[in-house]
Amino acid sequence: MEKLNFRTLQADEIDCRIATIKESGLSLLLYKDARVDQNMLDEAVGPMNWQRHHSRDNANCTVAIWDSEKNQWIEKEDTGTESYTEKEKGLASDSFKRACFNWGIGRELYTSPFIWISAQDCNIKNSGNRFTCNDSFYVSQIGYDEKRNINSLTIKKSKGNSIVFSMGKKPEKPDEGQAKQPEKKSEGITTPMIESIKSLVEKHSGKGLKMEKILAMYKIKDINEMTIEQYKDCMNKLKLYEEKTIHE
């Protein structure tokens, strides 16, 4: 298996959760959800090259990635904790996210600074024996150094889009909100992704599926020229093709 380098998380892939609330303000934690982990795995190794399974009533999750060189699944496992709402679903989701941390997905979140929001920047209420806050926040901008440590961070309040926390070097252009993200250059696909396409083409070659047709569809001369966006579209089409052949 070639060295896996999961990219760092983008601003719109990170959520903010209130950790503690006091009369003077509140603290936030940065986290990722299970969908982000699924998308990152699909992007880096291909949807056909990873799997997950749970044990101990969803308390533990094992995420396995296929190593074509060793011809075996490489597994990493971790345990989770229950959520306050859907206990069983929350436990499975948390153990999955923790197992993905073991693979390096989102590990840079551990370098997050202490995020404190002053009471003047949020709406804190005294509910008798405790303080509460119904405000929501989002990551507007995030940056990393060469060691994948967070070195810049901007957090805004959802209502009004006002900046409530900022550290490090600011973006060169003013941020216009979470919806607008800097344009990303199309990146090439990885070796496992290429192998996923080749294996499906070979599997259905007897029914007329040829690599030449795929290259022509995306106007490329070689499979290595395919972008991530083209790969995702191609895999969706191949899955539909496979489902169609099953019912024929």
* Span 185-220, pLDDT tens digits: 446 777 778 887 888 888 888 778 888 988 998 899
Q: Which of 134, 151, 167 is the last residue of a domain?
A: 167
148 and 78 in a single domain? The answer is yes
Helix 87-103 vs helix 34-45: crossing angle, to nearest 10: 40
Alpha-carbon dihedral angle through residues 231, 234, 240, 244, given to the nearest 10 degrees: -130
At residue 88, the pLDDT reads: 62
Residue 131 identity (one-letter amino acid)? F
Range of the domain at 215: 191-246
133 and 28 in a single domain? The answer is yes
63 and 112 in a single domain? The answer is yes
At residue 87, the pLDDT reads: 56
Domain assignment of residue 181, yes or no = no
Domain assignment of residue 174, yes or no = no
Chain centroid to Cα 170, Å, comes to: 24
Who's near 58: CB < 8 A, 6+ residues apart?
A: 80, 88, 91, 92, 95
39 and 108 in a single domain? The answer is yes
**73 pairs with which residues across the strands?**
66
238 and 121 in a single domain? The answer is no
123 and 238 in a single domain? The answer is no
Cα R_g (the chain), whole angstroms: 22
57 and 112 in a single domain? The answer is yes
133 and 206 in a single domain? The answer is no
Q: Report the DSSP pairing between strands 72-79 and 60-67.
A: antiparallel
Domain assignment of residue 80, yes or no = yes
101 and 199 in a single domain? The answer is no
Domain assignment of residue 180, yes or no = no
36 and 106 in a single domain? The answer is yes
| pLDDT under 70: residue ranges of the chain | 1-2, 83-89, 170-187, 242-248
3-state helix, strand, coil in the chain (%, to 5): 35, 30, 40
CA dihedral sign, ordered 184, 224, 191, 3? negative
Q: What are the tokens at 1?
A: 């298996």
What is the Cα–Cα distance from 194 to 221, expressed in whole angstroms?
14
Q: Which of 124, 151, 167 is the last residue of a domain?
A: 167
Taking residue 183's Cβ as centre, other Cβ atoms within 10 Å add up to: 5
Contact 51, 136 (CB under 8 A): no
18 and 83 in a single domain? The answer is yes
Tens digits of per-residue pLDDT, 106-130? 999 999 999 999 999 999 999 888 9
Domain assignment of residue 139, yes or no = yes
What is the Cα–Cα distance from 84 to 91, expressed in whole angstroms?
10
Domain assignment of residue 161, yes or no = yes
Domains contained in the chain, number: 2
